[in-house]
Every structure is written in C-alpha cells, then in structure tokens.
C-alpha cells in the first residue's frame, strides 16, 4: 500500500520540523494553516483513523496537545480529528488538528 505523507514525514523521507514528540506521537505545523496556529498531532502508529486507535494512545495525544499549546502559548484552542472522506479526512494516517491563536468560527455554522 502507498505510504501516506505522514508516514514519509515520520520516516524522515520528507524533511519537516518536529515541534514536539513523545513515545507515540509527533507534532508538526500544518502546511496549509486554517488558523494562526494550526498544528497536527500525528500518531507514530499508522492507524488509518481514530476508529483503529489503541485507547492507550490517547494518553500520549493528550500530552502532545498540552505541550504544543504551551509551546505556542495558546490558552484557547480547538482539537479536531476527521474520520473518513465525508468528514473531510484527506490523509489516511490518524492525526489531530490543534487550532488556535485567533478567534475561531462557530464549529456548527
Ligand atoms: P485531514 O484533511 O486529513 O483532516 O488533514 C490533513 C492535513 O494535513 C491538512 O490540514 C493538510 O493541510 C495537511 N498536510 C497535507 N500534506 C502535508 C504536508 O506535506 N506537510 C504538512 N505539514 N501538512 C500537510
């Protein structure tokens, strides 16, 4: 199966600044930011989406979210994961968007 862009980043095939990492995740800036701060917490295990994730990974995702929020000095932020094309998923390697640094629109509108 074709490697996703995130698998290539994790394997060092695409040079990308790693802002933070722990045992099970890395954090990078999104290439097309949707807010003034837009980071991606990417699981090191290539789960396709959240439905495949080992719940124990949440501990590491939570750590990464808190660390990147502190590093970027954002107090308020939104965390989103898209599961499946109809939900807007375009890269099929589990990741969580962390958005902040500016007023975010109403998620329901
Ligand atoms: P999704 O649409 O799957 O929820 O999110 C995928 C995200 O990955 C998008 O926000 C997109 O801008 C970002 N992205 C796609 N390719 C790259 C890349 O090569 N580098 C980085 N840093 N982000 C990427």
pLDDT value of residue 104: 86
**55 CA to middle of ligand 1, Å?**
23
pLDDT tens, residue by residue, 52-65: 999 999 999 999 99
Tell me whether residue 62 is one of the annotated catalytic residues: no
pLDDT value of residue 57: 98
Which residues are registered as beta bridge partners of 42? 26, 95
d(CA 6, CA 47): 11
Q: What is the mean pLDDT of residues 53-79?
A: 98
pLDDT of residue 109 exceeding 90:
no
Domains of the chain: 5-100 (3.30.428.10)
Instruction: Determine if ligand 1 sits within 6 Å of the CB of residue 81.
Output: no
Q: Give the confidence band of 42 by pLDDT, cuts at 50, 70, 90.
A: very high
What's the pTM? 0.96
d(CA 12, CA 19): 14
């Amino acid at each position: 199966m074709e490697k996703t862009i995130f698998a290539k980043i994790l394997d060092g095939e695409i040079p990308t600044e790693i802002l933070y990492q722990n045992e099970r995740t890395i954090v990078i800036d999104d290439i097309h930011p949707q807010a003034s701060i837009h980071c991606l917490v990417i699981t090191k295990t290539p789960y396709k989406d959240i439905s495949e994730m080992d719940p124990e990974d949440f501990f590491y995702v939570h750590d990464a979210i808190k660390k990147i929020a502190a590093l970027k000095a954002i107090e308020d932020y939104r965390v989103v994961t898209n599961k499946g094309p109809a939900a807007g998923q375009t890269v099929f390697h589990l990741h969580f968007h962390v958005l902040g640094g500016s007023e975010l629109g109403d998620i329901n509108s």
